[in-house]
Structure 1
Amino acid sequence: MAASMSNLQSNDRSLTSEAFHHLHQLTDDQVNWAYEIWDRLRDDLRHKDNLRRVHAAQLLCNLAKSDPEGRIVGDLPLLWEITKDERFVTARHCIQAIWKIGLAGPKQKEKLLQGLTERFRDCREEKNWSLIRYDLIVDLRKLYDHEQDEAVKRLALDLIESEEDLKYRKKYASVWK
């Protein structure tokens, strides 16, 4: 783990990629060393290198289930910033991982659902707003698939229904078929 964390911050992109994939795989399951790397990852959310930002965001989302102190709740505002990153690919990768926070516990899930709702409602003026909304609906679907929580499904369907453009409403609804 220590070598992978070191390589994650390397200038060699192949080393960085290999380290990220290794850490991502390790953090798919609950780990007892989350806090050993937490602060470093949180600091990387503001790094000038977009790859460092996105790797940090995705790993923190994965580590939420290994966070008994609930640190992720305090770090959610930083992650929401990444979902608006100047590099859309960075933002999108964060959006596609953020749903995992909802698996960490009731408070984390509540804060996540609030954030997903706000992000859905507030992204309309952004360049890729329809793709952002689609990804947010997919997040809700993934969370629902893991927990079968009808409140998550209801939220998703309500957000879909709030879309004024029928073309996009149909696209978002296709996630729930």
Structure 2
Amino acid sequence: MIRSAAPADGFAIGRLKVRAWRAAYAGFMSRAYLDTLDAVEEAEDWAEYLADLPGEHRLWVAEEAGVVVGFCRTGPVDEGRDADLGHAAAEILGLYIEPDRIGTGLGGRLFRHAVADLEGRGRRPLCVYAYEPNISAIAFYERAGFARDGTTRLDEEDGTAVVEARLVKRT
């Protein structure tokens, strides 16, 4: 089941984010940094974010047997950084699923739900940023109809600069 997240989901989302980051980014983010991720802090941050969710933002969760197994966050693009996309553009700000559920179709269903919601609200084009070393994520977004447009940004999440590629879906 895919549904809107509620503040009470903060703990599950925080714990899931930590597991997902440690699994997905272990090859290019430092182990020391990934080990510092704290599920309790993440849970508090997510609960606070959900309690005061900005109007155009959405946070979707995939749930199985009452357990959150994935989440996808969307919102308007950063008009300073992504002004070239226009005022109606939106961004998929994160897609994370339980590491043991990768390859089951869960991520695709959750992603398609988030994209359909954005398009149904007249948001176009859509973009998503993915760390360039994360070739499986980039391939996932390309299979979903997104294409690299040459725009990149530098993320220094763990003190090490990692390039993120922008992928865009225009229709």
The interval holding the TM-score normalised by the smaller chain is 0.3 to 0.5
Identify the structure with the greater helix proportion.
Answer: 1
- TM value normalised by structure 2: 0.38
- TM value normalised by structure 1: 0.37
Q: Which of the pair has more CA radius of gyration? A: 1
